[in-house]
Structure 1
Amino acid sequence: MPKFGLVMKGIPVRNMGTPRAATPADSFAVRSLSELTGGEEMRQEAHRHNFFYLLITARGAGEHIIDFTAYPVGNYTLFFMRPGQVHQLRLEADSTGYMIQFERQFYFLQEKGFEHLLQKAASVNYYPLQEGLFREVYTLVTAVFEEAAHGREGYREVILAHLSILFARLIRQAAVRYEGSGNLYIQQRMQEFEALLEKYAPFNKPVAAYAAMMHLSIYQLNAIVKQMQGKTASQVISDYVVLEAKRRLLCTGETVARIATALGFEDASYFIRFFKRHTGIAPEAFRRKCR
């Protein structure tokens, strides 16, 4: 079998059927992988979503490429994608599990704290789980599938409750990656910085802007990021800007000059140098190579 590589050709944006879902039911979907694959290998070429996406595999093999990072699909794995991320997927024929899709509006009537759970859980794309924890997760997801299938009174509230528990479980699991990296305060501030990056990195804001939004000094923010990731805040910001540049280069037909302006660069030539310094290749060359 040929290697499954990242191929980008006019990457489409997928939605959940309508530009703006008319009812809560239109903004949520869950399907079994056996139904999706139909007993055959499933391949999805590169695309991006305007909704949240979870892939849960009880048994599986293949490869999942999310924002240019390749992850193995295996037993007891969960993938969580945010709107706007680019991904490409190959699933072997005998893979089992579930796929969940939902728009942010599905949670508009949920209590305020739920959005925070969603944001934190979705900040991690790849969750390789131990069998015990996976069984807990799978029980929750199976309950979500059954509630959606029957559609009895109050099913939406029950689904939200199960998803809330699921997200809390994932957040606890994600916290393992921070063990030994600092206390709870440091972890929380790093997560706050990452959330701001998701929102503002496409505008290429300086470190001082993020520090101000977090009510920290530049020195304090750098110390937090250095402790958690071994990089400066400026380096992490640059990583996010490069990622957004790659998305735009491959998902749109915008000129390099227009992308540079959209990302906050006053001079396209500076953007080209910035991109090449961080990737080793010029923007247009990157676009041609991946297309």
Structure 2
Amino acid sequence: MRGTGPVKQPIQRYYLYGDQHSDVDLDFLHVEPIRDRSGAHDWIIRPHAHPDHVQILFIAQGGGWLRVEDREFDIPTPSLMVIPSAMVHEIRFEPGTDGHVITAAVGYVNFVAHGDSRLVDAVMYPGTYALSGTDVWAEGVRDAFDWMHREFVWSAPGRKPAIIAQMLRILVALLRLRSENAARSQQAGADRDYALFSRYRELLEQNFRTEKGMEYYAASLGVTPPRLNAACKAKAGRTASEMLHERLVIEAKRYLLYTEMTVAEIGHDIGFDDPAYFSRFFSRRAGEAPGAYRMSARKQRSGG
């Protein structure tokens, strides 16, 4: 745990870290270099929250870590950080960290998003988003923050729409980063499903004659039966049990078609001690009794 431990004092709630105000309107927006406030506090931002305000940070150089409620995030470079409103958070920056921080009222974000809920959602979840290796252009993000800060500290014609334009660029960048992260997570999940599915098929091939319980297969693979079923359904469209039953029926059909073994012998060979139970099992899944299948399959094979 890298945090400062249990907070013994009441959680401070600031509009800007270290400033107490109560009359900030819904259009409230503030932009400043990270060093202005964090550097003055030895690069340590202690646990606090911003009521009704979100923070978006661009980290150009440096790094550190962020803790929001009970979650911790490393801060890569370059990256964007999101701290949603009312969430208790603390930050430990590396000394000399460079970048900008935007503090914006939720109402201002809604105004800039102009009814696009995806843009609002982009600042509703805490996290850090590395820019390297993504489709989001890091220099474009840097430019948006730099431009917003320049507009914020001076007054010129078109200042407000210029700030809105840069805020919109930043929200779109966050939306795209979140989408890319979601796609990577989905792909990673798909890859994990495939790996588990492949291991299950190998284990099934080795043990389908002797092991009929999903608990055995799941335990051997180090997962729960529901997790195994989820992977099989994702990659094969069938549960793990259905795959086992299909493999048993395929093996039984091979024996019925290519050997003279009795139905009871075939059932015993693939793990059914009760011939009657094996016949019922086969009939339910093949649509006909073992003997009937043997006759029809051999007739079809001989061209009769």
Give TM-score scaled by structure 2 length: 0.52
Letter of the aligned partner of 2:153 in structure 1?
A
From the superposition, tell whether residues 13 and 93 of structure 1 become closer, same or farther in structure 2 (CA, over 3 Å). same
TM-superposed CA distance for 1:38, in Å, is 3.9
C-alpha separation between the residues in 1 aligned to 2:158 and 2:37? 27
User: Does residue 22 of structure 2 align to residue 19 of structure 1?
Assistant: yes
Distance in 1 of aligned mates of 2:35 and 2:95: 8
Alpha-carbon distance change, 20 to 85 in structure 1, aligned in 2, over 3 angstroms: same
Cα distance in structure 2, aligned partners of 1:75 and 1:181: 21
In the alignment, structure 1 residue 154 sits paired with structure 2 residue 142 = no
CA deviation after TM superposition for structure 1 residue 116, in Å: 4.4
* CA shift in 2, pair 1:108/1:4, >3 Å: closer
Secondary structure in 2 matching 1:8: coil
Asked if residue 175 in structure 1 is aligned to residue 179 in structure 2, the reply is yes
SS for the counterpart of 1:31 is: strand
Q: How far apart, in 1, do the equivalents of 2:184 and 2:32 lie?
A: 38
Contact 1:107 1:115 survives alignment (8 Å): no
1:72 matched residue in structure 2: 74
TM-score (norm 1): 0.55
State the shift of 1:174 in Å.
1.2
Do the aligned residues in 1 keep the contact of 2:113 with 2:168 (CA within 8 Å)? no
In the TM superposition, what is the alpha-carbon distance from 1:73 to its structure 2 partner?
2.3
> What CA distance in whole angstroms lies between the structure 1 residues aligned with 2:40 and 2:15?
25
AA paired with 2:24? Answer: A
User: Which residues of structure 1 form unaligned runs of 5+?
Assistant: 183-222, 228-291
Find the aligned partners of 2:116 and 2:97 in 1 and give their Cα distance: 31
The aligned residue for residue 289 of structure 1 is none
Q: 2:130 aligns with which of 128, 131, 139?
A: 128
Closer, same or farther in 2 for the Cα pair 1:22/1:130, shift >3 Å?
A: same
What's the offset of the Cα at 1:87?
0.4
Q: Which amino acid aligns with 2:88?
A: V
Relative to 1, partners in 2 of residues 1:111 and 1:7: Cα closer, same or farther, differing over 3 Å?
Answer: closer
The DSSP-based 3-state class of the residue aligned with 1:113 is coil
Partner of 1:83, secondary structure, is coil
Does structure 2 conserve the Cα–Cα contact (< 8 Å) formed by 1:40 and 1:93? no
Aligned residues: 183
CA distance in structure 1 between the partners assigned to 2:25 and 2:163 by the alignment? 19
Which residue of structure 1 lines up, in the alignment, with residue 92 of structure 2? 90
- Structure 2 distance, partners of 1:61, 1:181, is 23
Is residue 39–residue 94 contact of structure 1 (8 Å, CA) maintained in 2? no
Q: CA deviation at 1:7?
A: 3.5
Aligned counterpart, 1:105: 107
Q: Which amino acid aligns with 2:157?
A: E
- 1:250-270 CA distance string (max 9 Å, x none): xxxxxxxxxxxxxxxxxxxxx
Partner residue of 1:145? Answer: 149
Cα shift at 1:53: 0.6
What's the counterpart of residue 42 of structure 1? 43
Whether the 8 Å contact between 2:54 and 2:85 is mirrored in structure 1 is yes
TM-aligned CA distance change 1:156 to 1:108, over 3 Å: farther
Structure 2 partner of 1:164? 168
| Aligned Cα root-mean-square deviation (Å) | 3.1
Q: Provide Cα deviations, 1:232-259, integer angstroms capped at 9, x if missing partner.
A: xxxxxxxxxxxxxxxxxxxxxxxxxxxx
Equivalent in the alignment of 2:225? none
Structure 1 SS opposite 2:115: helix
CA distance in 2, matches of 1:176, 1:37: 30
Higher deviation after alignment, 171-180 or 103-112: 103-112
The change in CA–CA distance for 1:151 and 1:106 in structure 2 (over 3 A counts) is farther
Contact preservation (8 Å) 2:60, 2:98: yes
8 Å Cα contact 1:64-1:71 kept in structure 2: yes
Distance of aligned partners of 1:19 and 1:108 in 2 relative to their CA distance in 1, 3 Å threshold: farther
Q: C-alpha deviations, 1:73-100, integer Å up to 9, x for none? A: 2321211111111101111221000111
The reply to whether residue 63 of structure 1 matches residue 51 of structure 2 is no
Counterpart AA for 1:8: V
In our comparison, the structure showing a higher alpha carbon Rg is: 2
Asked which structure has the greater RCO (Cα within 8 Å, sep 6+), the reply is: 1
Cα distance between partner residues in 1 of 2:21 and 2:41: 28
